[in-house]
Structure 1
Amino acid sequence: YVARKRSEGRTPRHILRCLKRFIAREIYRILTDPHPITSVEDLRPKRVALGMSMQVTANHCGVAQGTISRLERGINVNYDLARHYRTWLDQQSATITT
Structure 2
Amino acid sequence: MAWISLIIAGLLEVAWAIGLKQSEGFSKPVPSAFTLVTMAASFYLLASAMRSLPAGTAYAVWTGIGAVGTVLIGIFWLNEPVNAGRVLSLTLLVAGLIGLKVSSA
TM-score normalised per structure 2: 0.32
TM-score normalised per structure 1: 0.34
